[in-house]
Amino acid sequence: MLDNEISQPRPKLIAGAKDDWEMVIGMEIHAQVSSKAKLFSGASTMFGAEPNSNVSFVDAAMPGMLPVINEYCVEQAVKTGLGLNATINLFSQFDRKNYFYPDLPQGYQISQLYHPIVGEGEVLVEMNDSERRTVRVERIHLEQDAGKSVHDMDPNMSFVDLNRTGVALMEIVSRPDIRGPEEAAAYVGKLRQILRYLGTCDGNMQNGNLRADVNVSVCKPGQYELYRKTNDFKYLGTRCEIKNMNSMKFIQLAIDYEAKRQISILEDGGEVHQETRLYDAEKNETRSMRSKEEAHDYRYFPCPDLLPLELEQSWVDAIKAKLPELPDEKKARFINHHGLTNYDAGVLTADVTQANYFEDVAKNRDGKLTANWIINELFGRLNKEELIIENSPVKTDQLGQIIDLISSKEISGKIAKELFEIVWEKGGNPKDIVKEKGMAQVTDVVAIETEVDKIISENPDQVEKAKTNPKLAGWFVGQVLKATSGKANPAVVSELINKKIFK
Amino acid sequence: MSIDKDTAARVANLARISIPDEELENVAKELSSIIGFMEQLNEVNVDNVDPMTSVTPTLLKKRTDVVNDGNQQSKVLSNAPDTREGFFAVPKVVD
C-alpha cells in the first residue's frame, strides 16, 4: 500500500437539534509496566494476590522509607517512546502530586509533571484500507499507581488494598487529534498492539493494566482546523474528562453519550463546565465526580527524595538497536514478502503471537495458503472453543505438515479439513495419520477411470441429459468423489468425465 | 506575598488539618511572616543557574527488577486502627 493512497478520515459529524457538530478527543492511557517489582520498591506486581501482601514499607509510606527506582521500568518507558517514534529526554525528573485518598498512603503520587522521560511521538491508527489517522503523542511519563478501594463489602466502610500501590505506570498523553468514538477505540487498540509487540505492557484491560482517561469536547465544523493552524485552544470547546475506562466498547459509548450531553447543553444556550466525569455502564451515562473537583489543587513540586533521572545516549541507542519489528513494519513485510492481502496481513499481525505462529508455519511454504488455513480454519476453531493461540492444540509443525500435504496434492482440500479435525481432537503426526487412515488422494488415473466408467454405465439417462446440458457434468464429479470417499483428485475426475461424455 | 484568612483555610483543608475559625487570622499572619522572610531569597539573581539537586555530583541510584520485599501483611496492617480480612478498613469513601 502506497502512502499517497492513504488519507486522514473525516471527523464524525453529529446532528444536534439545530446544527451539525464535531467532537474532539484526547486520551491519557495508563499502561502498567510489565515489571516483576514495583517502580520504587522490591514488592511484587503480581495481580490477584492476597490483599496487602505485595506491600513493602516504602509502598505503605512508613516514616523514613526512601524510594529507589527500578531500572527495568525506566528501560520500558524508553522502549515505548522509541516504539512511538518519540523524543527520549535524557534528563527527566520526578515530582510529587499531592492529594489525600485512603488508597494513597504517601499523601502524594510520585509522577513526572515538569520533565517527562519521553517527549513528542505519534501513533498511526488505520481505520480501513484507505484511511489512517495520525494521532500525535504529547508525552509519556512514569508514575506510581494507587491502591485499590473496595466499597461494596460493607455499608459503612471502605476496604483498602495496597498491593497495586507503587506499581509502575506509563501515562501516554495524546494531543486532541481523535475525531470520533470508533477512532478512539482504534487508537487504544493500536497502542495496545504496539505495547504488546514491545513487551513493555501486557495490555490486559480486564485487570486494569491498560486504562484510559478520555477528554471530550465538541465544536462546530471548521473550528478544529483553525486550532491545528494556530495551536490556539480557544477554537475548541470546553472539555470534560471521563476517568478510568477499561473497555473499548464502553469508551465508545461514553464518548457518544458525553458529546451528545455537551451538544444539548450548548444548544440550550448553556455552558459546559470543565470537570471530571465517571461513566456508568449500567445506565449508559456519564456523571460528575464532584469529590475529585475540590482536591484539584495538586501543589506539584520536585520530589526531594529522588535525584533527576539522567540517561546516556549510548544506553538509549542500545535499546533502539534491539527494538523488535513493530506491527506496521511486520504487516508491510507480510504483504511484500509472503504475498498476503492487506486484510490478511492485518488480521495476522493484530497480535504478535499470531504473527509469530504464521511466520513459523509459512517458512518455506506458500504464504497465501498458510494465511488462509490460519485465518479460516485455525482462528475459526479457536474462536469456537474460546481458546487463545498460545493454547492451540494444533501446533505450527502439525499445521505445516497439513499444508505440505495439500501443496503436494497428496490430499484434497476437503480431506485436509478432516485431517485438521483429527489433529485438533487427537493430536499426532499428520503425515502418519494420512498413511494409517488411507486418506491420500487418488491421483492414479487408471483407478479413477474405473470409477468414472462405472458411474457412466450405471446412469445412461444422466449421460443423455448431460450431453444437452453440460452443467450436469458436475453431478458425475460428485458421484465419483462420493464413491472414492473424497479421495479422488477432483481436477482429474472432472477432466476424465469431460473426455468421456463430451468427446 | 501575604496570606489572607481564606487562603489559610484552603491550605489547611487541602492538608486535612482542622483549624478553628478563631485561630485562622493568627495562622494567616504567621504564614505571611514566614513567606515574607523567605522572599528575601528573591533578591538573589538565579538567571541561568540550574537548580541544585545534590551537594555532591551523584547519579540517581537504581535497583534491578527483582522481587525481594513484601509478604508481610500483618506488619503492614499492624498500625491500622481497623482491619478486615487483610484490608485496611476506613470510613466509607465513595466518588
- Kindly report the nearest CA distance between residue A24 and chain B, in angstroms: 26
Kindly list the residues from chain B whose CB atom is less than 8 angstroms away from the CB atom of residue A58: 69
**Grid cell digits, residue A459:** 446412469
Is the domain of A455 the same as that of A327?
no
| pLDDT > 90 fraction of chain A, expressed in percent and rounded | 77
Q: Which position has the grid cell 522502549? A: A79
Q: Is there a contact between A363 and A353 (Cβ–Cβ < 8 Å)?
A: no
Count Cβ neighbours within 10 Å for each residue of B75-91 and write b for 16 or more, e otherwise.
ebbeeeeebeeebbbbe
H-run or E-run covering A94? none
Q: To probe the interface with B, which of A94, A157, A288, A300 has the most B CB atoms within 10 Å? A: A157
- Which residue range(s) make up the domain with A402? 322-437
Within 8 A of B86 by CB-CB distance, chain A residues are 50-53, 161
Cell of A154: 460493607
Nearest to B54 among A35, A41, A307 (CB): A307
The cell for B72 is 508481610
Single-letter code of the amino acid located at A144: Q
* Interface with A, mutate which of B7, B53, B73 (most A CBs under 10 A): B73
* A29-58: pLDDT as tens digits: 999 999 999 999 999 999 999 999 999 999
Please tell me the least confidently modeled range out of A58-72, A488-502, B32-46: A488-502
pLDDT higher at A5 or A238: A238
Q: Which of A320, A346, A364 is the last residue of a domain?
A: A320
CATH code for the domain of A450: 1.10.10.410
* A2 located within any domain: no
Three cell numbers at A258?
458525553
Mean pLDDT for A226-244 is: 95
User: Which of B13, B16, B93 is best to mutate for the A interface (most A CBs within 10 A)?
Assistant: B93
Same domain assignment for residues A128 and A171: yes
Average pLDDT over residues A229-235: 96
- Please check whether residues A199 and A280 belong to one and the same domain: yes
Residue A344 CA: distances (Å) to CA of A19, A399, B68: 41, 18, 45
Predicted pLDDT at A106: 95
Residue A65 domain-assigned (yes or no): yes
C-alpha pair distances (Å), A473 with each of A446, A468, A488, A495: 20, 11, 16, 10
pLDDT in tens, A260-311: 999 999 999 999 999 999 999 999 999 988 655 555 689 999 999 999 999 9
pLDDT in tens, B25-82: 999 999 999 999 999 999 999 999 988 888 888 899 999 999 999 999 999 999 999 9
Asked whether the predicted pLDDT for residue A476 surpasses 90, the reply is: no
Q: Are residues A314 and A451 in the same domain?
A: no
Confidence of residue A439 (pLDDT cuts 50, 70, 90): confident
pLDDT of residue A481: 83
Look at residue A234 and tell me whether its pLDDT is greater than 50: yes
- Decide which of A33 and B11 is more confident: A33
pLDDT at residue A222, as a whole number? 95
Nearest to A289 among B64, B91, B95 (CB): B95
CB count, 10 Å around CB of A447? 14
B74 touches chain A (CB under 8 A): no
Q: What average pLDDT does chain A have?
A: 92
In this predicted structure, what is the pLDDT of residue A443? 65
ipTM: 0.90
Give the C-alpha separation, A102 to B95, whole Å: 12
Same domain, A307 and A370: no
Q: Taking the CB of residue A388, how many other CB atoms lie within 10 A of it?
A: 10
* Structural domain total, chain A: 3
B31 to chain A nearest CA, in Å?
17
Of A16-25, A98-107, A305-314, A455-464, the range with the lowest mean pLDDT is: A455-464
Grid cell 452443467 is found at: A471
Q: pTM of the full predicted structure? A: 0.86
Q: From CA A186, how far away is CA A255, in angstroms rounded? A: 13
> Could you tell me the residue ranges of all domains in chain B?
5-42
pLDDT band (50, 70, 90) for residue A128: confident
Question: What span, in angstroms and rounded, lies between the C-alpha atoms of B34 and A332?
Answer: 64
Say what the pLDDT of residue A1 is: 45
CA dihedral A467, A473, A477, A483 (to 10 degrees): -50
Count the Cβ atoms, other than its own, within 10 Å of residue A259: 25
Residues A22 and A258: their CA atoms lie apart, in Å, by 12
Shared domain for A342 and A461, answered yes or no, is no
- One domain, residues A217 and A260: yes
What CATH number has the domain spanning B5-42?
1.10.20
Name residue, grid cell 511454504.
A365
Residues 6+ apart with CB under 8 A from A285: A257, A261, A279
Alpha carbons A291 and A219: distance in angstroms, whole number:
28
Q: How far apart are CA A451 and CA A499, in angstroms?
A: 14
Q: Which residue of A has its CA nearest to B85?
A: A51
Do residues A154 and A197 touch, judged by C-beta distance below 8 A?
A: no
Q: Closest by alpha carbon to A368, among A348, A352, A354?
A: A348
